[in-house]
Chains A and B, each alone.
Chain A
């Protein structure tokens, strides 16, 4: 295999903690640590992803569903003999794939984390669990939403009964919301410069 370092350099520069990939010695400890790896959810393990970055396989890496299978369990981080911040490298690559428009917008974790969870925070300053759940159910349309809602109705009823879910009204904005929003706008302006978007 010929090594084309163009993509690796791009990742080292633009992707969160990406420069650490240089340090990976391919031992595979991380690969043996991913909870969903054992269930076959990852096609390529973190170890393989890192080698693919160094091999210049830009499309294969950025379109991969694998980075989105990270549960943020931090097993790999505490075990890596080279002390790579693997969890954050994987998160960084997932984010970078999203920013570059390479990640499938319908990839379930991508969609949930970015369009539902994050947008829920941005909308009010806090996560409103009821609104979050509704959006999650109805992301694929009303029919699918009702089906999903019915499937989970026993758990939802259990939570309602236990007073651990409040369907209505959805929570309002935090008091300092205008300042909160201004902060995020500025933060994104700075972030976009770094990610090479703006």
Chain B
């Protein structure tokens, strides 16, 4: 059993928008003997748009508090996130604390008011990195008992799981890891030109029509390529591509109805997990195309 400290993030809370990711990730980790210990009483990481209200020190204090709690509760264990935005803001915070002594000193003055301190030393990682680097491709592949043969998936990496830090030494313009994860389940990763295009992120809330133009292009590209589903590691991408399909159809006269799944859902099914283990009952666009694999 490999043990990690775990930061689920707001969208992975019970009954929150990425509850399907959370459930399928939990199932996946159980199958791969990964134990995720949730940090007790964690707070939001501030995401990328935290800059507007939070500036530098308040924004970075958010993740620093989680680091301090993680260290208190879990010692030096690596801190793992599943949400791209959470991972990114944690990575950014740990790099700035490590390289900017003045920032670190100020953040610690703030932490002290809450009875905490953080001296550095915790490694922040994305679950995908844990899977690739600690579990390994061979083990991940060996677990497959029900290959998803014939399923055509567009692997949508999006931005923040990819830039600016990257996963597994992949390139920013054409990362391979997600396609490899799709392929190990027995499905086919179709060539997908919009693999790393932006879905609009948090601007889906404030600039909805413009963001819908971005997501329309992404979905259209997958549909044109013959995809049965789009697969992503990111809860923001998942939400933006899935929930707004109705709106996109209404705005642009399209008739999209394509399931947007997490890599973890594919893997759980291919490992012989059930429909509910994979949280496929929690899709907004029904994942009927997956029914033949349970």
Contacts and interface: CB of A to CB of B under 8 A. Distances in A.
A111 B205 CA distance: 11
B26 interface: no
B17 A159 contact: yes
Contacts of B211: 71
A162 B283 contact: yes
Nearest to A155: B243
B213 A39 contact: yes
A78 B15 contact: no
A75 B243 CA distance: 25
Contacts of A111: 206
Interface stretch (B54-62, B121-129, B142-150, B176-184): B54-62
Contacts of B115: 179
Interface in A96-131: 98-99, 108-115, 117-119, 121-122, 125-129
B61 A164 contact: no
Given A72-B159, A109-B203, A183-B113, A164 B44 contact: no
Given A95-B55, A155-B247, A75 B163 contact: yes
B49 A36 contact: no
Interface in B98-116: 106-107, 109-116
Contacts of B14: 166
B159 A117 contact: no
Interface residues of B, number: 67
B65 interface: yes
B113 A186 contact: yes
Contacts of A39: 210, 213-214
Nearest to A121: B44
Nearest to B284: A158
Contact of A191 (B56, B113, B244): B56
A158 B244 CA distance: 11
> Counting chain B CB atoms within 10 Å of each CB, which of A92, A95, A185 scores highest?
A95
A123 to B, nearest CB: 11
Contacts of B54: 118
A74 B112 CA distance: 32
> Counting chain B CB atoms within 10 Å of each CB, which of A87, A162, A176, A180 scores highest?
A162
A191 B56 CA distance: 7
B226 interface: no
A118 B206 contact: no
Contacts of A110: 52
A182 B114 contact: yes
Contacts of B205: 112, 136
Contact of A118 (B42, B53, B109): B53
Given A74-B164, A91-B48, 18 more contacts: A39-B210, A78-B164, A79-B172, A99-B55, A110-B52, A112-B206, A113-B53, A119-B53, A126-B42, A126-B43, A174-B41, A180-B43, A182-B113, A183-B114, A191-B55, A191-B56, A194-B56, A194-B57
Closest 9 A/B residue pairs (Cβ) = A118-B53, A179-B114, A113-B52, A74-B163, A72-B48, A166-B15, A73-B198, A108-B206, A187-B110
6 contacts: A73-B163, A117-B52, A161-B284, A180-B43, A194-B57, A195-B55
